[in-house]
Structure 1
């Protein structure tokens, strides 16, 4: 039985997808998705901060790969439930996948109203990797969404000998001065009074009868959102402490992202970096992709053309489509170092090839190993 409700057992980014999406998108939303392994929620302490995780452990006793998913803002792991499950399935169940939430973006106010900056959230993710993952022999791949892409790059800079590959999805790496939405959010975030007012309004909606709250979330945030994303929105986002932290983090993001990206680092690691952009995404416009191409031409760049928007993680169709793009990036990286990621044919759909082995890629469960072609 599939359990949709996201409920962490203990105290511990996504924008809407337009309901007026393409006919193809609506058709996929009505189509059944394959049964899959369910991600489990747990809370662990990282540097004394309660941290919500959503994870699926590999079926292998010694999995070769660990994928860490870093959310945008809001950093609520429940928004990524479908994505984590889809990624795990299409990696053949032989890689562990973990989504890590931001501090104080959880269901309970365990930090007693404290506000956390972008830099503190970056430090938190580094501490988590050092505590939970770096002592293993697993290859580490970082997948960052929105501001999570910026966080992932900063982690990569600090753990260059430990991280093998980085993928940024709909990346928010610098400010878009032509975006009215960014200007509005920035104006609210800079005002302590407005931030508190918005947080109070949101928490009031969260205090209503559950059926009323759910209806409002569906209406305001997206009728095409998955059940898991709606559950997470109701239980986590509509909390005073969460919304206050979302806005405070946004304030510090806008201050930091006035700076230019670290082109020297991106260029130095360009063979280990990939980005996926959206066609009409004000957080990561195509102009930013062109700038990356100019400064670091070796970075793998792609544009998603199925009609998903910045909040892909909140719809099942978006999760499956974007996740398949991730797998392609992983395969390309493995091929570049003369190792093949070996996938089953259902995962690859015949679309992937190993450029270092005459275009051949063995199809089997994923496992980094020297190609036997």
Structure 2
């Protein structure tokens, strides 16, 4: 497939066109604009190309797309929708992403007609994208062997997979929601009014000041997010549902890669932040203690960052994370 990078999509490949590709499928956090991650995914592609000897000369297809309701679209050409693309909860997003993955793999299968070999997928999830990725892994394993591809591993970055409401930011959001139950609607309307009144140049200046002079790609993505038809409302609606939904551990040992009942076992990596405002320290420590791999046992590899990388790594630390994730992928395929 030809590379394609748009505000709503990222698709590129490594290695010669004739190579069979392992698909790296990226799931973004909230707000779900893939354009925040364009530099990270581009650098990941470069890191994988430079480390081919460590990835057993495997070539990759790297794909990501914006979550449902976050797409940046010209309203004059916007297709009609029963939901107008907003107010999608976490379950809706899981189904949306699962549909994108299925469509991508079906398209790949059509391009590889005559090749009798199951395709391989590696999931990468950031923040709530890690929760979505784990749910997709669970549902995929329950559906196998009917599917025509295998999910062989995953890299979960700053993952909000349990008790998100207990985190510092989760507690603040929960309090706000108790005071203003219709927070998503109120803030969404305010954002629409603000972007309507402010000229583009002034809006960029205000956003740049509030974000403390972010890189251009993050400034562009944020302004597009604020000006989109329902992005702000969608982000807060989804965040409210995350507070209700992401609670206790919902996955079996098989999903965590800690059981050998059925092949292939998904080789998982979890990269946690230190003092992550969306993951309580106690929650992180409990996950590492209960689910982390023990010596000689199966299970996910869990790392707690000691380099001070922030939860929103895609703003200023894409280069560091791209190298780290390339190393994880090398271990998955190696």
User: TM-score, normalised to structure 2's length?
Assistant: 0.78
> Does residue 267 of structure 2 align to residue 272 of structure 1?
yes
- 1:189 offset after TM fit, Å? 4.8
> Which residue of 123, 143, 149 corresponds with 1:142?
123
| Separation in structure 2 between the aligned mates of residue 326 and residue 84 of structure 1, nearest angstrom | 10
User: 1:47-80: per-residue Cα shift (whole Å, max 9, x none)?
Assistant: xxxxx31222345323421111100110001110
| Separation in structure 1 between the aligned mates of residue 306 and residue 194 of structure 2, nearest angstrom | 35
- 1:197 offset after TM fit, Å? 1.7
- 1:194 offset after TM fit, Å? 2.6
| Separation in structure 1 between the aligned mates of residue 86 and residue 307 of structure 2, nearest angstrom | 40
User: Relative to 1, partners in 2 of residues 1:173 and 1:79: Cα closer, same or farther, differing over 3 Å?
Assistant: same
User: Relative to 1, partners in 2 of residues 1:295 and 1:196: Cα closer, same or farther, differing over 3 Å?
Assistant: same
Aligned-partner SS, 1:92:
helix
Tell me which residue corresponds to 2:96: 124
Aligned residues, how many?
286
Tell me which residue corresponds to 2:72: 107
Tell me which residue corresponds to 1:368: none
Aligned-partner SS, 1:159:
helix
Higher relative contact order (CA 8 A, sep 6+): 2
Are the equivalent residues in 2 in contact too, given 1:189–1:247 (CA < 8 A)?
A: no
Within a 5 Å distance, the mapping from 1:164-183 to structure 2 comes to 164-183=152-171
- 1:96 offset after TM fit, Å? 1.6
| Separation in structure 2 between the aligned mates of residue 123 and residue 57 of structure 1, nearest angstrom | 25
User: 1:336-366: per-residue Cα shift (whole Å, max 9, x none)?
Assistant: xxxx3xxxxxxxxxxxxxxxxxxxxxxxxxx
Tell me which residue corresponds to 1:185: 173
Are the equivalent residues in 1 in contact too, given 2:208–2:219 (CA < 8 A)?
A: yes
Tell me which residue corresponds to 1:322: 321
> Which residue of 233, 237, 243 corresponds with 1:248?
237
User: 1:26-67: per-residue Cα shift (whole Å, max 9, x none)?
Assistant: xxxxxxxxxxxx96117xxxxxxxxx3122234532342111
Are the equivalent residues in 2 in contact too, given 1:189–1:248 (CA < 8 A)?
A: no
Within a 5 Å distance, the mapping from 1:199-214 to structure 2 comes to 199-207=188-196, 208-214=198-204
Tell me which residue corresponds to 1:304: 305
User: TM-score, normalised to structure 1's length?
Assistant: 0.70
Deviates more, 1:301-310 or 1:138-147: 301-310
CA RMSD, 1 decimal: 2.4
* Unaligned stretches of 5+ residues in structure 1: 1-37, 43-51, 335-339, 341-373
Write 1 or 2 for the structure with the bigger share of helix.
Answer: 2
- 1:293 offset after TM fit, Å? 2.9
Aligned-partner SS, 1:133:
helix
User: Relative to 1, partners in 2 of residues 1:83 and 1:39: Cα closer, same or farther, differing over 3 Å?
Assistant: farther
User: Relative to 1, partners in 2 of residues 1:285 and 1:182: Cα closer, same or farther, differing over 3 Å?
Assistant: closer
Tell me which residue corresponds to 2:205: 215
Aligned-partner SS, 1:260:
coil
| Separation in structure 2 between the aligned mates of residue 177 and residue 194 of structure 1, nearest angstrom | 16
Tell me which residue corresponds to 2:54: none
> Does residue 48 of structure 2 align to residue 53 of structure 1?
no
| Separation in structure 1 between the aligned mates of residue 273 and residue 122 of structure 2, nearest angstrom | 21
> Which residue of 40, 51, 54 corresponds with 2:5?
40
Are the equivalent residues in 2 in contact too, given 1:55–1:99 (CA < 8 A)?
A: yes
